[in-house]
Each structure stands twice: as C-alpha cells, then as structure tokens.
Chain A
C-alpha cells in the first residue's frame, strides 16, 4: 500500500494539513490548569462544558495576566505532537467577556502600578509650540476623522504624520507598538497621539495589552491617548503622558482654538490701548496737579517773600531812621529849633496883623454902626423925593420935606 505512512510521516502530513486549514484559528474558552514552566513556557487548557484543548505558548507571547476561570480568545496553530497528542500552539490571547476583561485589567494594572509605569511624576506635558505631531490610528475610523476635522478647524501650520494601524483586535497592539517605534526612531514629531473612537470593552481591550502599555510608558516622545468614550479608561491611558477622553478631546487638547486666540489678541490689544490712554490721562492729571502745586508753592513763596520784604523794609526804614535820620535830626536840632522859633514868631506876627485888621474891619462893619443906633439913608436928597432909610431893625421909605444945612459948630 503506497498510501501508508510511518507515524512520523503521518504526524507531519496531519500537521501540514492542519496548518493549511487552520493557520490562524481562533478559539474561545475558559482557562484551566494554567501554569508557567521554567519561567519560559505557558501551559493551560481551554475548555467548555464538553471539551478541552491543551494549549501551549512561549511566556513572552502572553500579553495579559491569565488565571484559571478566565474566558479568553486564543489564536493559534493546531498540531499533533510527536507523541500523537493534540496540542494548540497559541500566538495571542485576549480576555473575552466582562468578567475576564475586568479581571485581566485589574491584575495587569496592579502589576504595572507596582512597577511605577503610571507614576504621575513621569508625565510630560504637551509641548507649548506643537508643530509636528505623530498620529497612530486607523485612517478609516470615525474617531480619526473627527480628530483631523477638529485640528484643522481649530489650528493651522502643524505637520501631522499619520501611521495607519489597526485599533482593535489581536493584531492591533503589535501594529501600534511598531508605529510607536517608527516615530521614536525618527524623532521627527514632538508628540504622538494614539486615537481610537468608542467601542465595546472587548473592542478596546487591545489597549490593555501589556507590551503596548509598556511601549507607551517607554516612549521617548510624549504620548497622548484619545481612546473610546469618556468613561473608558485603558491601561494605555494610564501609561500615556496625557490622557484625553476621546479623539475629539485629544484634538482640542493638542491645538489652540484660532477663534479664541483671535479674540484673546483683540482683547489684549484693546486692554493695552485703554491702559495706555489711562496712563496718558493720569500723566496729564499728574502734570496738572504738579503745575497747580508748583503755582501754589510759588504763590506761597511770593507771599512769604513779600512778608519778608515788608519786614525787611521796616527794618531798613528803622535802620535808616536810627542810623541816618535820627543823628541828622540830632545834629541839626538847634538849627531846626531856631528855624521853628522864627517860623513861630513870624506866624504870631502875621496872626496879630490879621487880628488887628479884623478888628478894624469889625469897627467898619455897617451892621455894627446900625446896631449903635445910626441909620443909612439912600436916595436923592431933594424935597419931595422918596428916600430909603435903613435902621438896625427896619427899612423905611420917607418923603423929604425940607432940607437945611447942619450947624456943626455947636
């Protein structure tokens, strides 16, 4: 029979057939009998209610913590060992189901926290002048489209390099790690953004891959993550320098809003303009006050000077009087006295002369004569004429009857 095989040949043919048929088989089951041998090899059974598969994998391919009872999806290659036993060589494992996902997450989080991978002191900020950005995402994803739309709306002038990778599934972690290595090796970007829109816990579980979390923590270039929704927190988020809640939020954190910047600039310029005007006004007021103050002081000084001058003037006059006038008066006192005496004598003489003349005039006063009983007759002295006779008390009109010469010898 030409169709017969030796055991070795048969196992080899079966393995080739299995590899051809199931080169990358995915199997979901519950972990049982988990153990690590010699610190290198991992063994566990994957079972359901009825069957069980023996699994084997190198420890370095195990990227999540495993323990019995966890539900996982494994990818691997079925084969028959040389002892004729069925084996499943696993290349990737990921937890499946809420309980397992949570369990794997908590176990790895505890381990990496103890190692200091999430230490807040190691976090680096977003560069102030971000001009070159690396993006790791699936270019077909809605989250990526949102990110690009927002950065373009908010800001300009940035150079963005995009590494297209899967962002879910068993292959996603390795692709993202390669993209991280790419950016770190070239050193052309200032920040790396790892983006993935919302999804189920299972979709996002790749971001809890230990190797990926370590690669993010080890990146020389600061990393920002924008993964899932606000409530989702992956271990990649914890390892990143900056965590944005979503890709859109990452876009907002990485860029300034040009409308806000424009408004801020206008406000600044307005404030500066107003402030300068106020300063000018204040300076003007100050000058005015200074001028007023100067004037007030000047007036005070003038007043003071005037007072001082007045006092000085008095002192000068007093000085002149004491120093010059009084001695001069003293020196000429006799002359002055004699002069005054002459003036007095002359004055008395003039006064006496006037008095005498006044007396004479008094005697000659007609009223005085009338008061002594005499009368004044006025008019033409001729018989029959009317004449006017004035006495001290009366005025009389009289007719002349007779005229005769007076005998003055009696």
Chain B
C-alpha cells in the first residue's frame, strides 16, 4: 500500500531531487532520468497547489463553561 505524501513532503522531495544536480553524486548519464522525475514531481506539486484547500472546523465545545 503506497503511503500518500503531503504537499510539503513532495516539495521537500523535489528539493532533494534538485539538490542532486548540484551534488557530487551528479552523473550526466543519470541526469535526463532525474530531470524527468523532477519535472513530473513539479507538475504534481503545481496541481496540488492549485487544487488543495484548507479544511476549517469550528469546534462545538463551549469554552465559556
């Protein structure tokens, strides 16, 4: 069962993927694949950014008592 990751986790993942390009691990032969992965994740994040809404719940508890 795949765990659903949050928007912030996706952004953190993208940051890591982008960081790879600036790290010592960078290999030109892997760059195309990594780039495609990063672009796909970026698109997913953009979609979330556009669609996600906050869920606001006003509690029914009476705190005056």
Which residues from chain A sit less than 8 Å from chain B, CB to CB?
128-131, 139, 148, 151-152, 155-166, 171, 175-176, 178-179, 182, 256, 258, 261-262, 265-266, 268-269, 271-273, 275-276, 279-280, 283
Contacts and interface: CB of A to CB of B under 8 A. Distances in A.
B42 A159 contact: no
Given A128-B8, A273-B35, A152 B53 contact: yes
The prevalent SS among residues of B at the interface is helix
**Which residue, B18, B26, B28, B51, has most C-beta atoms of chain A within 10 A?**
B18
A266 B41 CA distance: 11
A57 B9 CA distance: 53
Contact of B55 (A160, A276, A283): A160
A182 B52 contact: no
A84 B22 CA distance: 85
B57 A160 contact: yes
Given A166-B64, A272-B21, A262 B59 contact: no
Nearest to A179: B63
Interface of B: 6-9, 11-12, 14-15, 18, 21-22, 26, 28, 31-32, 35, 38-39, 42, 45-46, 48-49, 51-59, 61, 63-64
B42 A155 contact: no
Contacts of B35: 272-273, 276
The interface residues of chain A, by DSSP majority, are classed as helix
Contact of B59 (A128, A159, A164): A164
Given A160-B57, A265-B42, A269-B42, 4 more contacts: A176-B63, A261-B49, A266-B42, A268-B14
Given A156-B49, A258-B49, A272-B18, A162 B58 contact: yes
A290 to B, nearest CB: 14
Contacts of A171: 64
Contacts of A151: 54
A129 B55 CA distance: 16
A129 B9 contact: yes
B37 to A, nearest CB: 11
A266 B51 CA distance: 18
Contact of B53 (A156, A175, A176): A156
A178 to B, nearest CB: 4
Nearest to B49: A258
A273 to B, nearest CB: 7
A141 to B, nearest CB: 13
B63 A157 contact: no
A265 B51 CA distance: 17
Given A156-B54, A182-B59, A261-B49, A275 B21 contact: yes
B59 to A, nearest CB: 5
Nearest to B5: A129
A261 B41 CA distance: 13
A268 B41 CA distance: 12
B56 A160 contact: yes
A163 B61 contact: yes
Contacts of A176: 63
A149 to B, nearest CB: 11
Nearest to A128: B8
A363 to B, nearest CB: 100
Given A156-B51, A268-B14, A272-B38, A182 B63 contact: yes
